[in-house]
Amino acid sequence: MTKHNYKRHLSSTLAMLLAGVAFGSAANQTIASNASKQQGGGLIAIDGSSTVFPITEAIAEEFQIENPGTRITVGISGTGGGFKKFCAGETDISDASRPIKTSEMELCQQAGIEFIELPVAYDALSVVVNPQNDWVDCLTTEELQKIWEPAAQGKITNWNQVRADFPDQPLTLYGPGTDSGTFDYFTDAINGEEGASRGDYTASEDDNVIVQGVANDKSALGYFGLAYYQENQDSLKLVSIDDGDPSNGDGCIPASVATVENSTYQPLARPIFIYVNKEALSRPEVQNFVNFYLDPANKDLVREVGYIALNDSVYQAVQTRLANQTTGTMFEGGSTLGVNLQETLVK
């Protein structure tokens, strides 16, 4: 376990304890944030995606070492839950594993909050089973759809219904909850419609809950960000994916840094983001933290916690977006399926 993987467990616990003190309610969060602004203090409030959390936590730890006067809290409410807090003015930065939705932008507009959308890394969604599962090493995207589409609810409940030569074993499912950007991306990529999913599965915005569910159930299947598989690979088995398109890699492709970088792991690779309150950037601690987050010199922190760093040209384009304080989203349609960040950022 790397130092940041270890610190993540410890500091996430500390963050939750601190959150209970400093952010016991939405009203207290707003009061604390406003007090920080008035005093020029060093408090930065962040919440949102559990997928982006490990990166933000690692960056925050290193930044606080170099800037001991700044305190950063990082919560996990899921991408959707994070945007609710962000658009209510309760946080300065929102972690997101998918672009902001139109309904969320409307909430921000109603509250007078302008935001800057910043890609920070690439991720892959890993599909996993229990290590005792000796019958599945690869699934097609069609089989994943058969398992997870809304029509499967209450009907596809056995592994032999997924593929005839699979054993007569109950199929138990674990996955992100509906506030999760990972849920939104997966349902879009696999079921063809964001949010379209069967509902009879164990859902959580905390990926560690899904990890434990699959690790303790021989018949289980689940999905979450690659970093959580890498951190728990001794208790999980990775399932390769075949999207049926030989042009981006023939046959079964496992999720990995290499297969995301060479674009062969499709369609479950994606960019992930932070959203910054434009007004908050007037506070030096927030500006300095976001600059630190987007410094290519910190690529190793991104890699250390299991994610794929942006290349230098994309980093430069993202830094330009921040320097120009370009507000709004680059993804009006809300989907990042098949997106080329370099092309999108220079439009």
* Tens-place pLDDT, residues 268-312: 999 999 999 999 999 999 999 999 999 999 999 999 998 999 988
Per-residue DSSP letter, 225: E
3-class secondary-structure state, position 333 = coil
In a 13 Å sphere around the CA of 312, the CA atoms on its Cβ side amount to 1
In the chain, what's the furthest Cα-to-Cα distance?
A: 66
Domain ranges of the chain: 3-121+271-345, 124-261
* Lowest-pLDDT range of 92-96, 313-317, 318-322: 313-317
The CA distance from 144 to 269, in Å, is 15
Q: What is the pLDDT of residue 36?
A: 39
Q: Is the pLDDT of residue 212 over 50?
A: yes
> What mean pLDDT is reported for the chain?
87
Tell me which architecture the domain covering 3-121+271-345 has in CATH: 3-Layer(aba) Sandwich (3.40)
Beta bridge partners of 173: 221
Q: Is the pLDDT of residue 26 over 80?
A: no
The CA distance from 302 to 295, in Å, is 11
Radius of gyration of the chain measured on its C-alpha atoms: 20
Q: Sorting pLDDT into bands at 50, 70 and 90, what band is 347?
A: low
Q: What is the pLDDT of residue 276?
A: 98
Q: What is the pLDDT of residue 284?
A: 96
Share of the chain above pLDDT 90, in %: 76
**What average pLDDT does the segment 205-215 reach?**
94
**What average pLDDT does the segment 32-61 reach?**
77
CB 163 within 8 A of CB 177: no
Quote the tokens at residue 95. Answer: 């972690």
Q: What is the pLDDT of residues 192-208, one digit of tens each?
A: 999 999 999 999 988 99
Q: Sorting pLDDT into bands at 50, 70 and 90, what band is 249?
A: confident
Q: What is the pLDDT of residue 66?
A: 94
More confident residue, 197 or 10: 197
Q: Is the pLDDT of residue 3 over 80?
A: no
SS3 of the chain: helix, strand, coil, percent, to 5:
45, 20, 35
Q: What is the pLDDT of residues 57-115, one digit of tens each?
A: 999 999 999 999 999 999 999 999 999 999 999 999 999 999 999 999 999 999 999 99
Question: Which CATH code for domain 124-261?
Answer: 3.40.190.10
**What average pLDDT does the segment 126-142 reach?**
98
Instruction: Answer yes or no: same fold for 3-121+271-345 and 124-261.
Output: yes
